[in-house]
């Protein structure tokens, strides 16, 4: 992809899928490559439930400031990338030594987010459960745990308010942002998410290598070495950078304000029991355990 005609060929191919979002993504991402890079490649995949569009370019790696309105490297408003981020259902940005890869996903039918998982890796495992279960599209609590670049990337959040579709939609939005920038430094991720996400939310977001390091916003509590830490500071969406916390690697549980935990949870069965005893509020627990402790 090196000239405008290449974008036209892509758009003509995509028209047969009758989806305005993928046409807009292809146009904006293609123009971004032509304006700011030395060329690139486009790959497309149609799956049963979604479309995947991948753009790979060959230039310098991305500066996340490009996602801030008004940022420009060529005297143009930095809004094209924000548009791509917002109209896609999922985004993944992978920086390379020379260039970057953008992966955009658009679902054919709205995908509901079921915030529950049990994941095991060679040296660590993580469980997440939220309440409510049956009315999942009214919950603003959710979290992630992913293996990224030889370590682990995690987050747990609680959107202000509960019991309605609005907080659920804000939770989906925050999850998309957190996962989109997973390959970048935490400080960069927090800076850009704080700029993009204006809804008040409690949040922990961090990484695990030989230590646990995370940033804390709001009133999410955690248990570490069987000691409860009842922190409360500035919330995401309140122009704060959060509190940085660094711990030796060990078992740790994070939980939102709809529930109370008084000791480290060590099994998925125990997690299920504890969350059934919640208050009348959205609630979430993220359990992170070293496998050596099994």
Which of 61, 83, 107 delimits the end of a domain?
107
- Looking at residue 109, its pLDDT comes to 95
Query: How is residue 41 written in tokens?
Result: 């490649």
Q: Residue 203 sits in a domain of what CATH number? A: 3.60.40.10
Q: Are residues 89 and 126 in the same domain?
A: no
| pLDDT tens digits, one per residue of 94-114 | 988 788 999 999 999 998 888
CATH number at residue 10: 3.30.565.10
pLDDT tens by residue, 222-268: 999 989 999 889 999 998 889 999 999 999 999 998 888 889 999 99
> What are 32-76's pLDDT values in tens digits?
888 878 888 999 999 999 999 999 987 766 777 777 755 555 444
Q: Quick check: 215 pLDDT over 70? A: yes
Reference 106, options 47, 61, 64, 159; nearest CA is 47
Residue 223 near residue 264 (C-beta atoms within 8 A): yes
Mean pLDDT over all residues of the chain? 89
Asked whether residue 66 falls in the same domain as residue 138, the answer is no
Three-class SS of residue 160? Answer: coil
Question: How many angstroms from the chain centroid is the CA of residue 126?
Answer: 16
Output the pTM of the full model. 0.92
pLDDT of residue 261: 86
Contact 236, 178 (CB under 8 A): no
Q: What is the pLDDT of residue 69?
A: 58
Q: Which two tokens stand for residue 111?
A: 């995908």
pLDDT score of 75: 42
Residue 108 and residue 100: Cα distance in Å, rounded? 26
- What dihedral angle (degrees, nearest 10) is formed by the CA atoms of 157, 163, 168, 171? -10
Angstrom distance (rounded) from CA 170 to CA 177: 11
10 Å CB burial of residue 242 (0-12, 13-18, 19+) is buried
pLDDT grade, residue 77 (50/70/90)? very low
Residue 99 lies in a domain: yes
Q: Which of 13-17, 92-96, 101-105, 211-215 has the lowest mean pLDDT?
A: 92-96
| 157 in the same domain as 87 | no
Backbone angles phi, psi at 81, to 5 degrees: -70, -35
User: Does residue 112 belong to any structural domain of this protein?
Assistant: no
Which pLDDT does position 280 carry in this prediction? 66
Strands of the sheet containing 243-248, edge to edge, are 141-148, 151-159, 201-208, 211-217, 243-248
Instruction: Dump pLDDT digits (tens) for 113-167.
Output: 889 999 999 999 999 999 876 556 788 999 999 999 899 999 999 999 877 889 9
Whole domain around residue 147: which residue ranges?
A: 117-293
Give yes or no for residue 3 having a pLDDT over 60: yes
Same domain, 101 and 220: no
Domain-located, residue 67: yes
Whether 283 is in a domain gets the answer: yes
Say whether both 181 and 283 belong to one domain. Answer: yes
96 shares its domain with 194: no
Residue 9 has pLDDT above 60, yes or no: yes
Predicted confidence at residue 279, as pLDDT, reads 65
Give a yes or no: residue 68 inside a domain. yes
């Amino acid at each position: 992809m090196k000239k405008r005609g290449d974008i036209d060929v892509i758009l003509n191919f995509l028209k047969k899928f009758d989806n305005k979002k993928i046409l807009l993504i292809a146009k904006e991402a293609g123009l971004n490559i032509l304006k700011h890079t030395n060329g690139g490649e486009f790959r497309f995949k149609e799956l049963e439930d979604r479309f995947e569009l991948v753009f790979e370019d060959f230039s310098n790696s991305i500066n996340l400031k490009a996602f801030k309105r008004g940022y420009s490297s060529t005297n143009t408003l930095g809004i094209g990338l924000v548009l791509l981020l917002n109209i896609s259902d999922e985004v993944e940005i992978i920086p390379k030594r020379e260039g970057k890869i953008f992966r955009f996903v658009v679902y054919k039918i709205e995908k509901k987010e079921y915030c529950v998982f049990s994941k095991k890796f060679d040296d660590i495992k993580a469980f997440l459960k939220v309440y409510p279960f049956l009315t999942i599209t009214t919950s603003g609590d959710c979290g992630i745990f992913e293996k990224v670049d030889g370590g682990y990337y995690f987050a747990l959040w609680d959107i202000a308010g509960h019991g309605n579709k609005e907080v659920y939609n804000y939770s989906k939005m925050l999850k998309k942002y957190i996962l989109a920038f997973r390959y970048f430094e935490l400080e960069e991720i927090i800076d850009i998410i704080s700029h993009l996400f204006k809804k008040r939310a409690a949040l922990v977001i961090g990484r695990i290598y030989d230590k646990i390091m995370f940033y804390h916003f709001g009133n999410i509590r955690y248990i570490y070495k069987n000691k409860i830490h009842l922190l409360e500071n500035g919330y995401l969406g309140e122009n704060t950078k959060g509190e940085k916390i660094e711990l030796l690697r060990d078992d740790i549980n994070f939980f939102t304000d709809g529930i109370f935990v008084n000791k480290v949870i060590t099994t998925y069965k125990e997690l299920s029991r504890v969350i059934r005893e919640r208050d009348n509020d959205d609630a979430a627990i993220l359990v992170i355990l070293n496998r050596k402790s099994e």
